[in-house]
Every structure is written in structure tokens, then in C-alpha cells.
Chains A and B, each alone.
Chain A
Amino acid sequence: MILDPSTASQLVDAVAAAVVVLGIGIASTRSLGRMIWVTAAQSALVGAAALVVAAATGAAHLALGGVLAIGVKGVVVPLVLGSILRRSSVRQERRPVVAPRVTFVLAVVIVFVATAATHDVRLPVALDAARALPAAISTLLTGLLIVMTRRKTLSLVVGLLVFENGIALAAFSLVYAMPIVVELGVLFDLLIAVVVAWVYSRRMLDVLGTLSTDELRNLRG
């Protein structure tokens, strides 16, 4: 026990709030480069939340999970996405389904709704971090919002990562800790999914000459 529980819950609450703010930022920018790196920062914060919980509860494998999350989602994945971005000529989400100004408002609304809806839920957990559950649900929904309102393949992958950060925040700060094999498997799967997305982004560049899912409108009915 390096941290006492009340300091730890305050820290987790602060980190959770920062994760939400970054999520709103990702939903309201057009620049693909900025989206990738802000998402990396968000992922690193989620990993940091795991480290805080680990320090407070002495769960060593949770610390390992946090370090791996920071390494994989904070460093490796953004580097992979950055390399796709450099290969393409696209820098901006030019024509999203909904303007970033509107998604900003929607993202803020999501935070309020998620907070109100989860106000009374009490999970049987070690730490009493009251903001973590609303923050996790908000982040998850913000990720869905990004997936639904963007057209560039890279934005969709970013949306998926934000969605996944919401789930990870719930896992690390609320559920206490999944068994270590499960945590490792989850991270491994995420890595595979991003690699597959990378493969397909490259193929789209080669075959369709674009990174925009506008071209993906052939399959109907």
C-alpha cells in the first residue's frame, strides 16, 4: 500500500475527469494528427489510473496491466496510426457527417446524461471513486459518437480506441482487476485489431486511392 485509499480515489477521480475532457477534445477536432496524439494521451491517462489503483490496493498485476496499456495504447498504436497518416495525403476530416462544433455539443450532452444516469449506481469495489463510472460511460459513448459521425478510416479507428478507453477505465478503476490472463488477452486482441485496421487502411490506399469511407457505399440490401 503506497497510497492511502482516500488520496487514491481523489487521484482516480481527477484522472477520470481529464480522460473525459480529452474525449470531448478528440470529438471536436478536424485534424487527424491531433486526434491520434490526443487519443494516445487519453490512453496513457487510463493506464495511469490503473497504476494509481494498483498503488492503493497493492495489486501487482494491475500495475503490469497499466504499464502495458501505456506502452501499447499510448506509444505503439499511435506510432502505427501515425505511419498510415504519413503515407496518405489526408490531413483533415474535411466533410464529417456532423460538423465538429455540433459533435462538441453532443459530447458535452453525453457527459451530462451519463453522469445523471449513473449517479446512483454503486459498484462493490475497493475504491470509492465516484467519478470513474460516469467518466467511463461518457468516454465509451464519445467513442461511439466519433465512429458514427466521421468518414475517414483513421478517425474510425480513433473512435474505436476512445470507446475501448472507456471500457478500460471501467475495468481498471471500478471492477478492481480482471484476472491477469484476461487483461493480457484483451491488450493482445486490441493490438491485433489495430494491426488489421492498419493492413486494410494500406489496402484502401492501394486499391481505392483514398482513406475516406465515402467510397465504401457499394454494399446495400
Chain B
Amino acid sequence: MTELLTLAIALAPVLGALAAWSAGKGGRARLAMGIGITATGTSMAAAAALGAWVFAAGTETAFSGLVTVDALGAYMLLLVAAVAAIALAASPGYLARHRADGTLPPLEEGTYWALLALFAGGLATVPLVDNLGLVWVGIEATTAVSALLVGFTRSPRAIEAAWKYLILGSIGIGFALLGTMLLFAAAGPAADAGNALAWTELGRSAASLDPELLRLAFVFALVGYGTKAGLAPFHTWLPDAHSQAPAPISALLSGAGLAVALYALARFHHIVATALGPGFSGTLLVAFGLLSLAVALPFIVAQGDLKRLLAYSSIEHLGLATLALGFGGRLALAGLALHLFCHGLAKASAFVAAGRLVEEAGSHRIGRLRGSLTRSPAAARALVVASLMLSGLPPSGIFVAELAILFGGVAAGWALAAAVAAVLLALAVAGLLFHVARVAVGPNRARGPRVSIRARTALALAAPLALVAAAGLWTPSPVAAAIAQIVAVLGGGHG
């Protein structure tokens, strides 16, 4: 069963991508869309099924240990599937509107569906493999695929953003490869090359690893995967890529792509903390988490571009998640588990809603988007609600998660760091809500008619937000049990 689901997750996107691409090149856009949605949907449904199965039945292995999915992996599978569903629902509308206004390159719709399938499938494959070398290969492959999606519109700005993303992303991820190799070297020449990079095996034999090399490996992994997760000071590609990409792609990049990079870092952290105690890697994570919160703040407060505002908010939230990972302890890690999922859903909805507003107004500038609530009520409402949640105001899962992370930090002995983070978060709330309020209200300068959206789009925007709100009010017992399992994986061996 696990074998079958794994194959569906990894191979359906590859086959679907080939078919969608050739259908698109043959001018059959509708067929390409059908194939793209079917292939991506199959892969994501399999990912969700496998994730749910692991939470119910415990860790699953397949293909003689090459594939291992524990609670943390299952969590990532569910997160990627949920965010990809939002991106998938928003994509037909995005393509239709750009087909209508002539900004879609001809015969490229099949390419869009092919790349989307590969991107989502790649993100879902990373948490499957029990080999940190292959985790690297998967993340690097999604970088290349998503770089093509970032520049999809072929405007000069989009090409610039994609170029920066490709070069900075490749260099960053190169450091992660060096870190992976040093981890391999830390296992010593005696290690069996076949499973020396398996995170299950490394976690078990952590005590026998060379401590010097282990420290060095973690530093390189932090730089490398930190670049991909958008941690300051390696974040400079992120606002460009997230603001220039098509809205559904921004949603997937921000909601799931960053989290998958953090997942790789969490596996490194777990091994290093098991071997050396949480002091070394935990302190580094706390430092870079705080730095990301501090660096994002001025750009949120002084932002003039709606999509860049959301991108900097992602840097802030990933900083908070990194902080939680560094804090450790049951409470902060439970907060982390709640946080990444809720952030993924809320941020993806915010990007899709912002994308609608930007398309209708023909500008990213906040000053030109004013009065959106009268012009395009549904999308503007979704943006406002998503922003309130992203600000951490109740009722939302993010509110509960932020409280848990901050109190967890205090409980784990990081009182000062938690206090600084609380101040930075509060200031960022003011900045984000001020700008979103300007977009929502104010004089509506555009003369066009009120824009209404289809029921399907409204559902795609409302359902994830309702889920995030519910997560702040009520935790059903299966969810609580799942969070406890994730915490056990993340905190195993210490705390």
C-alpha cells in the first residue's frame, strides 16, 4: 500500500507533466488542463492519504528502507497536499484571465500545468525519502522547476526575479550539499555507504558521529536550507520571486516550498541535537529566527507593493517557525506544528486573493489598489480575513500557535529571545494591517463594474480560512494526537 502511494506521489506528476506539456504544445489547452489537474490531484490525494495513514497506523517504510514516513514526514505530506489544492483551484482562473488579456505566452498553458505538477510532486517527494542526499536532490529539483514558474509571464521583471532566484538558490543549495557531505564524512569511512545518509540511521548512531564535522555540517546546512526557507540574511531572492510569480505559484512557494526547506533543516537539527545536545544548533536557529523577524519588520512597515508585503510576512513567519525549532520543548514544538500548517493555508489564500486584486487593478502598488472592498468585495474580504489571521489575531490557529511558541520559549529558558520576538511580532502586526486596510478601504478610483467571483473560487478562498479559524477554537482529539506524534519526532532524544 505504501509502495503504491509512494509511486503515485512521485510518478503521477512526471507522467502527467510529459502529457500536459505535449498537449499544450499541440495547441490543446483544455486537454492539458485536464491532464495537469488529474496528475497533480492524484499525487496530492495520495500524499494526503499516506499522511493520514501514518498518523493512524504509525511510521511506514517501503522499498527496503529508501522510503520512510514518520509523523513529521506525514505532516509535511498533508501540508503540501493542502496548499497544492489551493494552488490547483486557483490556476484555471489565473490562466483564463491572462489568456483573455493577452499576457499569456501562446502555447504555454501545457507548460504551466506540467511545471505545476512537477513542483507539487517534487515538494511531496522530499518528505518521503529516508536519505538526506536525496532530500537535497529533491529540493534542488524543485528549485529549478519553480524558477521556470517564477518567470512564467516573461515580463522583464519576472525574468529578473527568476534569474536571481536561480543563481542565489543554486548557490545556497550548494552549501546545503556541502553540509550533507560533511554529515556523511562525520559518519566515518567505516559507515555503510548505502544507508549512511539515512536520517533514521543517523538519528540512531548520532552519538558515534564526529562532533567537529557535525558542527560544520550543521552550519553549512543552515546556510543552504536557510536560503531556501527564506531566512535572513539569505532571503533576498524571496520577495522578488514571490511577488513576480503567478499568484497560484506564489501560494505554493510560500505556503509549502519554504516549509519543505525548513523540514530538511529540522532533520539536520534533530541529528546534531541528539549527538551534541540542543545547545549548538538550537542557539543558531534561535539567532537566525530572530534575525529574520528583525529584518522583515522594516520592509513590512514601509512596503508599497502588496505581493512583496505578503512575501516579507512569509520571511517573518518562517523566522518564527525557525525560532520555535530552536527553542525546542513540548509547547514550542506543538506551536510549530500548528503554525506551519495554518500559515501555509492562510498565506496561500492571501496570495490567491491578492493576485485577483492585482490583476483587476493592473498594479501591485498599494496606493493603486485602494478601495478594493467596493471594487472586488469577495477577494478583498478574503485578503482582509487572511491578513488578520496572519497577524496572529484570534480566533485563528496562528494566534494559538504564536502564544504556544512564545510561552514555550520562556519555558525552555529563552525568555529574553521570546520577549524580543513578541515585540517584533506586535510591530509587524501593525505594519501588515495598516497596509491591508489601505488596500481594502479608501476611494475606489477604477471605473469598471464590481467584480464578482465564481462559487468555486469563493469556496477555495473561504474553506482554508475557515479551517485556520477553527484551529484556533477547537482541537479535535485526532489532531491533538497527531501534534503529539510530531512533537515526539522533533523532540526525540532531548527535551
Give me the 3 closest cross-chain CB pairs, A-B, nearest first. A182-B133, A185-B137, A216-B160
Check B151 for interface membership: any CB of A closer than 8 A: yes
In the assembled complex, A105 has its CB within 8 A of some CB on chain B: no
The size bracket of the interface on B is: 35 or more
Q: Which of B43-51, B167-175, B260-268, B454-462 participates in binding chain A?
A: B167-175
A147 at the interface (CB under 8 A from B): yes
Q: Is the CB–CB distance between B160 and A221 below 8 Å? A: no
Main secondary structure of the interface of A (DSSP, over half): helix
Q: Could you name 21 residue pairs across A and B whose Cβ atoms are closer than 8 Å?
A: A123-B213, A124-B185, A124-B189, A156-B167, A160-B171, A163-B174, A167-B174, A174-B185, A176-B189, A178-B197, A185-B134, A186-B177, A189-B144, A196-B147, A196-B166, A204-B159, A207-B156, A216-B164, A219-B161, A219-B164, A221-B302
Q: Would A215 and B166 be within 8 Å (CB), given that A124-B188, A163-B171, A167-B174 are in contact?
A: no
- B250 nearest CB across to chain A (Å): 14
Q: Is A126 an interface residue (CB 8 A)?
A: yes
Distance between A180 CB and nearest chain B CB, rounded to angstroms:
8
User: Which residues on A sit within 8 Å (CB–CB) of B182?
Assistant: 175
Give the residues in chain A near B148, CB-CB below 8 Å: 196, 199
Asked if B287 is at the interface (CB within 8 A of a chain A CB), the reply is no
Asked if residues A200 and B299 are in contact (CB atoms below 8 Å), the reply is: no
Q: Which of A188, A193, A199, A208 has the most CB of B within 10 A?
A: A193
In the complex, which residue of chain B has the Cβ closest to the Cβ of A164? B174
Asked whether, in the complex, the Cβ of A160 is within 8 Å of the Cβ of B167, the reply is yes
Q: Is the CB of B131 within 8 A of A213?
A: no
From B137, B180, B185, B305, give the contact of A188 (CB < 8 A).
Answer: B137
Within the complex, the shortest CB–CB distance from B161 to chain A, in Å, comes to: 6
Knowing that A124-B210, A188-B141, A189-B137 touch, tell me 7 more A-B residue pairs with CB under 8 angstroms. A125-B185, A181-B133, A182-B131, A197-B166, A200-B166, A219-B243, A221-B304
| Residues in A neighbouring B194, C-beta threshold 8 A | 179
Contacts of A171 on B, CB cut-off 8 Å? 181
Least CB distance from A100 to B in Å reads 20
**A125-B185, A160-B167, A164-B174 given; A189·B140 CB < 8 A:** yes
Identify A221's interface contact among B164, B188, B189, B308, CB under 8 A. B308
Name the residue of chain B whose CB is nearest to the CB of A122: B212
- A170 neighbours in B (Cβ, 8 Å): 178, 181
Q: Does B154 contact A (CB under 8 A)?
A: yes
Q: Is the CB of A167 within 8 A of B177?
A: yes
Question: B444 interface residue, CB < 8 Å from A?
Answer: no
- In the bound complex, do residue B147 and residue A203 qualify as a contact, i.e. CB atoms below 8 Å apart? no
Q: Is the CB of A219 within 8 A of B157?
A: yes
A-chain residues with CB within 8 Å of residue B302 when the two chains form the complex: 221
Flag whether B162 is at the interface (Cβ < 8 A). yes
Interface centre among A125, A170, A185, A195 (most CB of B within 10 A): A185
B193 at the interface (CB under 8 A from A): yes
Number of A residues whose C-beta is below 8 Å from B? 44
8 A Cβ contacts from B179-214 to A: 180-182, 184-185, 188-189, 193-194, 196-197, 210, 213
Residues A203 and B197 in contact, CB atoms below 8 Å apart: no
Residues on the A chain within 8 Å of B184, using CB: 175, 178
B303 within 8 A of A: yes
Chain B: which residue is nearest A215 at the CB level? B156
Looking across the interface, which residue of chain A has its beta carbon closest to that of B188?
A: A124
Give the chain A neighbours of B144 by CB distance below 8 A.
189, 192-193, 195-196
In the complex, which residues of chain B have a beta carbon less than 8 angstroms from the beta carbon of A153? Answer: 163
Q: Is B396 an interface residue (CB 8 A)?
A: no
A144: interface (CB < 8 Å): yes
Across-interface contacts of A45 in B (CB, < 8 A): none
Mask, B128-142, CB within 8 Å of A = 1, is: 000101101100110
Give every chain B residue within 8 A of A176 (Cβ-Cβ): 185, 189
Instruction: Give min CB distance, A145 to chain B, whole Å.
Output: 12
Residue numbers in A under 8 Å from B162 (CB-CB): 200
Given known A-B contacts A124-B189, A178-B181, A221 and B303 have beta carbons under 8 A apart: yes
B170 touches A175 (CB 8 A): no
Q: Mark B432-451, 1 if CB is under 8 A from A, else 0.
A: 00000000000000000000
B391 within 8 A of A: no
Nearest CB in chain A to that of B163: its residue: A200
CB of A179 within 8 A of CB of B196, answer yes
> Given the interface contacts A176-B189, A203-B154, does A182 sit within 8 Å of B240 by beta carbon?
no
Once bound together, how far apart are the Cα atoms of A221 and B308, in whole Å? 8
Flag whether B244 is at the interface (Cβ < 8 A): yes
Q: Are B163 and A204 in contact (CB under 8 A)?
A: yes
CA distance A152 to B380 in the complex (A): 42
Contacts of A199 in B (CB 8 A): 148
Find chain A residues with CB under 8 A from B239 CB. 219, 221
CB proximity to B under 8 Å, residues A138-173: 140, 144, 147, 153, 156, 160, 163-164, 167, 170-171
- Are A147 and B181 neighbours in the complex by a CB distance under 8 Å? no
- Closest Cβ–Cβ distance, residue A213 to chain B (whole Å): 7
Smallest CB separation, A5 vs chain B (Å): 13
Residues on A with beta carbons closer than 8 Å to the beta carbon of B171 = 144, 147, 160, 163
Expressed in whole angstroms, the minimum distance between the Cβ of B227 and any Cβ of chain A is 13
Question: Least Cβ distance of B159 to chain A in Å?
Answer: 6
B173 to chain A, nearest CB (A): 9
Contacts of A174 in B (CB 8 A): 185
Q: A200 and B151: CB pair below 8 A?
A: yes
